Chains A and B, each alone.
Chain A
Amino acid sequence: DGGITQSPKYLFRKEGQNVTLSCEQNLNHDAMYWYRQDPGQGLRLIYYSQIVNDFQKGDIAEGYSVSREKKESFPLTVTSAQKNPTAFYLCASSKSVQWFTEAFFGQGTRLTVV
């Protein structure tokens, strides 16, 4: 079935480790996004990609990295430079970045630092 798949659902990271969150979509969407959700706050944009091999920083990109080697995939790496990584991470996609296009979200990955 079509949609956006994030994995894993839960992820635990030790201090100083890098971890990679997976996001795959089969909607043939050009644009993909990564958001972070913290309690009591709205979603904040980490990175977005308008097209393959291109990505742009969002509002809170520090300590994160992404790649867009394939249209279907937009993995997010949380590096050891991210000082407070514990959060709920959401991946989204849309047909394009134009204002009228609908955005669809994955089911999220909850990352916890242990």
Chain B
Amino acid sequence: KNQVEQSPQSLIILEGKNCTLQCNYTVSPFSNLRWYKQDTGRGPVSLTIMTFSENTKSNGRYTATLDADTKQSSLHITASQLSDSASYICVVSAGLNNDMRFGAGTRLTVKP
């Protein structure tokens, strides 16, 4: 069973609308949680990284939240743009090493 579960698997929204992507994890011991954006056929690009002491972090129109008690994170995208169409991957690191556990991603499509 994957230790990082993302939902929904896919999402279609209209340009200008907001959306929220979810990530639940069971990885332990928790070190940090990252959100990556991956365009089709390209490598992932980092959006945010949060440690257990942080519960929110923003990067432009992207805002990530973390609840280390419930082991949940969300990525909120505000005023979506066509260029936001991509897969969004939640990555949780365990222990003291960069032992990254990847979710399967949420495929977001923004339509005009």
Residues of A within 8 A of B (CB): 4, 6, 31, 35, 40-45, 88, 90, 92, 94, 96-108, 110
Contacts and interface: CB of A to CB of B under 8 A. Distances in A.
Contact of B98 (A4, A41, A42, A99): A99
Contact of B42 (A100, A102, A108): A108
Interface in B1-39: 2, 4, 9, 31-32, 34, 36
Given A31-B98, A42-B89, A42-B101, A100 B51 contact: yes
B41 A99 contact: no
**What interface size band does chain B fall in?**
20 to 34
B97 A103 contact: no
A42 B2 contact: yes
B105 A42 contact: yes
Contacts of B68: none
A11 to B, nearest CB: 14
Nearest to B51: A100
Main secondary structure of the interface of B (DSSP, over half): strand
Contact of A94 (B44, B98, B102, B105): B98
Most chain A CB within a 10 A radius of its CB, from B45, B97, B98, B99: B98
A99 B92 CA distance: 10
Nearest to B103: A42
A106 B2 CA distance: 24
Contacts of A44: 102
A31 to B, nearest CB: 7
Contacts of B42: 107-108
A99 B42 CA distance: 24
Contact of B31 (A45, A99, A104): A99
